[in-house]
Amino acid sequence: MGEGTRQQHFRIGDILRVSCPSVRVRVVQATRFDVAIEWPWAQIDPESEIQWNGLRGIPRTEGAYEWNGLFRTDPEPGRLEIGDSCLVGIPESLVRIIDIGRYDPPADVGWLPRPHTMLVVLPAGRPHEPHAEEEGDTIDLDSAAPIRIDLISRS
């Protein structure tokens, strides 16, 4: 996480530069639509009511109206199969905050650490569709992932 960002008070509309160094992971599942990789930055929460399996899905293709999210694999997901090794991380990206979730107590999401604050973001130039379901990706400010976040502008 960028210096001091855990205490920073973000606002809807803020433009952020985000990145996360890539680490090597293994592909555990693969379908026509996505690949599931072992997620390196979280532990399964044994106290959780959610039975998270330690995997994260990455869509195989990005359509004209879809955004696959912040985390990317190298090689790209369309070239990966079960058992393959790949890198996963966030290439430097500009995003805009479209929503903020604050949780007290921390949210039960299936992994540790449980998040207190999650930013919902879209690419900075992409329009926000307020009625779209599951639009955007989340940045967990309590994540163990070494995500760097820099505030670029505030509206």
Amino acid 130: pLDDT: 67
Q: Is residue 113 part of a domain?
A: yes
Find the mean pLDDT for residues 17-36.
96
Q: Confirm whether 2 is domain-assigned.
A: no
pLDDT at position 8: 64
Does the structure show a pLDDT above 50 at 26?
yes
Residue 5: is its pLDDT beyond 60?
no
Question: For position 113, what pLDDT does the model report?
Answer: 92
Q: Is the confidence at residue 6, as pLDDT, over 50?
A: no
| Triad 21, 68, 19: Cα angle to 5° | 20
Give the number of domains in the chain: 1
Residue 85 belongs to some domain of the structure? yes
Q: Domain for residue 3, yes or no?
A: no
31 three-class SS: coil
Residue 94 lies in a domain: yes
Residue 127 within a domain: yes
Q: How far is CA 144 from the centre of its chain?
A: 12
6 lies in some domain? no
Domain that holds residue 24: 15-153
Residues near 18 by beta carbon (within 8 Å), at least 6 away in sequence: 70, 90, 92, 93, 95, 121, 139, 147, 148, 149, 150
Q: In the prediction, which pLDDT does 61 show?
A: 73
- Span 31-50, pLDDT tens digits: 999 999 999 999 999 999 99
Q: Would residue 10 count as lying in a domain? A: no
Q: List, for residues 86-127, the tens digit of each pLDDT value.
A: 999 999 999 999 999 999 999 999 999 999 999 999 999 877
